[in-house]
A and B are shown apart, each in its own frame.
Chain A
Amino acid sequence: MATPALPLARGRNSGRPRAGMSAIERSRRRLFWPMLMPALILMALFYLVPIIYAGWLSLNEWDGINQMTFIGADNYVRLAKDPVFIGSIINTLKILFIVGIITFVFAFGLTMILRDMMGKKFVRSVLFFPTLINAMVFGIFAGFLFSPAGPVNKLLLLVGVQDPPKWLAQDNLFNMIMIVMIWSATGYFTTIIMSAVDQIPAYYYEAAGLDGAGPWAKFRHVTLPLAWDVISVCAVLWTMSSVKVFELILVFGGSTAKAPPTSTWSTALYVYQAAFGSGGDREFGISAASAIVSLILVTVLTIGLRRMLRREAIEI
């Protein structure tokens, strides 16, 4: 009888004790707000207030020093007219969808292979390893690894490739960034999905096998429905993190302290460049407006995704 307490305590009451409740129940309710308050205050202070302030800032022109001037929706109009901002939204969506879909396909594939593989714990750790490395490390090393006379091209030369691809050419830059993201995200999501798959009792698979199901049918009819909740959480996690991608692009594309080429900018990078770009101008209004736009973007996408993925939970 431990479970029902939680939904009750979450009720709409304000912590006032009601008649007919046990003493424990009453004190639990009394503690509801005091326990919640610190977190709520922190949330308000560090999330809500900045967001509201950013919303206000986005309606102003401000260099960070002098008086703000209210300009209404001008910043948003400017963003709509700015090809660089439009490009950065497209890049963000590319990261979200292209990188996301490939990552999940890999994660599912690996999950299917790993499920009944020997030494899967070890393999899983290996797969998870890239997540532990800061993406920036790869960003910096890529310059060395993929340089025209670098190790990758030397290896290719050994196997007879005379004219290796121009890895770090401007056109490939964003693709390289996406590949690194796939590489580092796959292990992370494989690990999470695997842990959900581990909870599925083996007899479901055995029963499916007896019914003549192959690996794909097993995945579709056993793994996917039973791990669905975890998968949809993963999808939301990915959506939120993809909109925030920043440091990898900055390190990958930017040489010394200069900005990376605009063709690789994500919305997060746009926000940063507007406020602290290398030109010295500070446009906090534009920066806040672009941050608000990406906030709306992630909110809409997350809500949409949640709706799309909503299903009745299946009890194992």
Chain B
Amino acid sequence: MTHIKPWLKVATGAILATSVAFTASGCTTTDAPSGGDGAKSMTYWSMWTETEPQAKVLKTSLDSFEKDTGIKVNVQWQGRKVLDKVTAGLLSGDVPDLVDQAYDGLGPTLAKTNQLEDMAPVLKESIPGEDGKTVGDVIPAKYIDVIPTYGGDVKNYMVPYTISNVSVFYNKTNKIAPEAPKTWDELLANCKKAVDANMACIASDGDATWANSYWFDYLLNRNAGDGSFKKLVEDKTGASWDDPAVLKTAEQIQDLIKSGYIIKGYDASKYPEQQNAWAADKALYYLMGSWAPAETQKYAAEGFDYGAFNFPTTTASSTTANDVIAFGFAVPKAGKHTAEAKQFIAYFANKDRMGQISTVADNLSARPDVEAPAQLADVATILADNPSRLPSDGVSGDITDKGFNASFEQLWLGKVTAEQYVKEAKTAMVAYWNAKG
């Protein structure tokens, strides 16, 4: 009888167990062919999924890039959570050469920790196929300058290729108030007309605090100037809440609610319920990102003509800054083919290629010389005519989720008065910063 020694059994068991463990943990290496035979290559992890129109646009350019330059691009359509994968990849050394996301993803996640290459040289690169024009010539500086560093060392860490903004959308064919208001009083007057005509003025979903707080953010910006929201929520002492402009802002919101200008049932609906109601002509205005037309198209009333206007001014000296949300490319320093990645960024900046973001994907490209899709024509005008700012002045982290939102919800849902709100919000923000240590 053959006798297997106990230690051998233990060892076999252990080996078996570890092999199972490795299979189970799904350790797969996704290393691209390194091009050891001389062929150049690069890796691109995209924020889009493969079936999205933006992915199709990029794919077309990636293919022609490969043909024109011989650089093979290994692309992975990772989707919106791409930066979580990049963060994890940085630890294991598996990093793409090119990645894309919005500024508020790239900035706090990668630029803050100095993981991204400086893009200033890329802005000086000339665009293939456009004589003498550089990337910086065609993408407005205001889109790039507005992007915060989040404490990182590099100022320009991304090159935008598509732009969203936040403005007030409305149906241009509406009979009640076809003229877009320029001032807060004009907006209120139109609201009154709408309510008199048995139509809600403002659409809002109570649970979408991220969207409802656009009202507060813009109003405070108009009342107290650029950077006032950031100053307010980043004030660890809470003293900024005593600024009369804050109370004024809260009162203006209270006014909207008390006057019944916000669509009925907004306090018990789940996004995008009321957004769709707006598209069905149940409300006059909707303050939202420029993705609203694309999202509501299916629900739009017959003959709905998408228009947009910049958030109204509240005083004669109000700023007219408009929220810009830039999505663009960035190059992780840890990538092995950063030069190729930068080459592609300049390549994609070409009018015909980046222009497809507008013509194929129905979004705004970062080039103002590309004609905007019809639904976003007004948005393009707003962006061109006004200075740029960031939603919530670009504050990052959990300030809004854990600090600002809970008390703002109470105000927006009409559960507290403006005075109570200012008091509660101040306490909440002081507690938030106290916990931050």
- Residue B227 CB within 8 A of the other chain: no
- Check A280/B87 contact, CB under 8 A, given A31-B9, A148-B269, A168-B268: no
Pair A257/B207 contact, Cβ less than 8 Å: no
Pair B12/A34 contact, Cβ less than 8 Å: yes
- Residue B74 CB within 8 A of the other chain: no
A273 to B271, CA, bound (A): 20
Query: Would you give the shortest CB distance from A127 to chain B, in whole angstroms?
Result: 28
Which of B389-437 touch A at CB < 8 Å?
Answer: 396-402, 405-406, 409, 413, 428, 431-432, 434-437
Pair A279/B269 contact, Cβ less than 8 Å: no
Query: Would you give the shortest CB distance from A172 to chain B, in whole angstroms?
Result: 8
Pair A148/B268 contact, Cβ less than 8 Å: yes
Which stretch in B38-46, B107-115, B351-359, B366-374 binds the other chain? B107-115
Query: Would you give the shortest CB distance from A84 to chain B, in whole angstroms?
Result: 5
Pair B267/A169 contact, Cβ less than 8 Å: yes
- Check A168/B270 contact, CB under 8 A, given A41-B21, A45-B21, A280-B105: yes
Pair B271/A280 contact, Cβ less than 8 Å: no
Which of A279-302 touch B at CB < 8 Å?
Answer: 279-282
Q: Choose one: A39, A64, A82, A280; the contact of B91 (CB below 8 Å).
A: A64
A263 to B206, CA, bound (A): 14
Contacts of B272 in A (CB 8 A): 255
- Residue A306 CB within 8 A of the other chain: no
- Residue A100 CB within 8 A of the other chain: no
Q: Choose one: A15, A33, A166, A279; the contact of B398 (CB below 8 Å).
A: A279
A81 to B432, CA, bound (A): 9
Which residue on chain A has the smallest CB distance to residue B437? A78
Produce 1/0 per residue, A75-96, CB < 8 A to B: 0011101111100000000000
Contacts of B109 in A (CB 8 A): 280, 282
Pair B273/A148 contact, Cβ less than 8 Å: yes
B-side interface residues, number (CB < 8 Å):
60
Pair B104/A255 contact, Cβ less than 8 Å: no
Pair B406/A262 contact, Cβ less than 8 Å: yes
Secondary structure at chain B's binding surface: helix, strand, loop or mixed? Answer: helix
Pair B267/A166 contact, Cβ less than 8 Å: yes
- Residue A261 CB within 8 A of the other chain: yes
- Residue A167 CB within 8 A of the other chain: yes
- Residue B10 CB within 8 A of the other chain: yes
Contacts of B207 in A (CB 8 A): 168, 170, 173, 253, 255, 261
- Check A63/B113 contact, CB under 8 A, given A147-B269, A169-B267: yes
Q: Choose one: B10, B18, B209; the contact of A261 (CB below 8 Å).
A: B209
A-side interface residues, number (CB < 8 Å):
57
Pair A280/B14 contact, Cβ less than 8 Å: no
Pair A33/B10 contact, Cβ less than 8 Å: yes
User: Which of B90, B209, B396 has the most chain A CB within a 10 Å cutoff?
Assistant: B209
- Check A262/B206 contact, CB under 8 A, given A65-B90, A143-B270, A279-B396: no
Pair A263/B267 contact, Cβ less than 8 Å: no
Pair B108/A279 contact, Cβ less than 8 Å: yes
Q: Choose one: B112, B264, B399; the contact of A148 (CB below 8 Å).
A: B264
Produce 1/0 per residue, B77-94, CB < 8 A to A: 000100110011011000
Produce 1/0 per residue, A45-70, CB < 8 A to B: 11000000000000000011110000
Contacts of B267 in A (CB 8 A): 166, 169-170
Pair B400/A263 contact, Cβ less than 8 Å: no
Which of B252-282 touch A at CB < 8 Å?
Answer: 264-265, 267-273
A65 to B85, CA, bound (A): 12
- Residue A256 CB within 8 A of the other chain: yes
User: Which of A65, A172, A278 has the most chain B CB within a 10 Å cutoff?
Assistant: A65
Pair B104/A280 contact, Cβ less than 8 Å: yes
Produce 1/0 per residue, B54-98, CB < 8 A to A: 000000000000000000000000001001100110110000000
A143 to B400, CA, bound (A): 24
A115 to B397, CA, bound (A): 54
Contacts of B428 in A (CB 8 A): 83
A261 to B406, CA, bound (A): 7
Which residue on chain A has the smallest CB distance to residue B275? A255
- Residue B384 CB within 8 A of the other chain: no
Which residue on chain B has the smallest CB distance to residue A82? B435
Pair A167/B402 contact, Cβ less than 8 Å: no
Query: Would you give the shortest CB distance from A149 to chain B, in whole angstroms?
Result: 7
A260 to B6, CA, bound (A): 54
A170 to B91, CA, bound (A): 40
Pair B206/A169 contact, Cβ less than 8 Å: yes
Which of B14-50 touch A at CB < 8 Å?
Answer: 14, 16-18, 20-21
A78 to B402, CA, bound (A): 13
Contacts of A261 in B (CB 8 A): 207, 209, 405-406, 409
A146 to B115, CA, bound (A): 45
A181 to B412, CA, bound (A): 29
A261 to B412, CA, bound (A): 13
Which of A235-268 touch B at CB < 8 Å?
Answer: 253, 255-259, 261-263
Chain B residues proximal to chain A, CB less than 8 Å:
6, 9-10, 12-14, 16-18, 20-21, 80, 83-84, 87-88, 90-91, 104-105, 107-110, 112-113, 115, 205-210, 264-265, 267-273, 396-402, 405-406, 409, 413, 428, 431-432, 434-437
Chain A residues proximal to chain B, CB less than 8 Å:
15, 30-31, 33-35, 37-39, 41-42, 45-46, 63-66, 74, 77-79, 81-85, 142-143, 146-149, 166-170, 172-173, 253, 255-259, 261-263, 273-274, 276-282
10 A-B interface contacts by CB (under 8 A): A65-B91, A81-B431, A81-B435, A148-B269, A166-B265, A168-B268, A258-B210, A259-B401, A261-B207, A279-B396
Q: A30-B9, A166-B265, A279-B401 are in contact. List 5 more A-B contacts (CB 8 A).
A: A33-B9, A42-B20, A65-B110, A261-B409, A281-B398
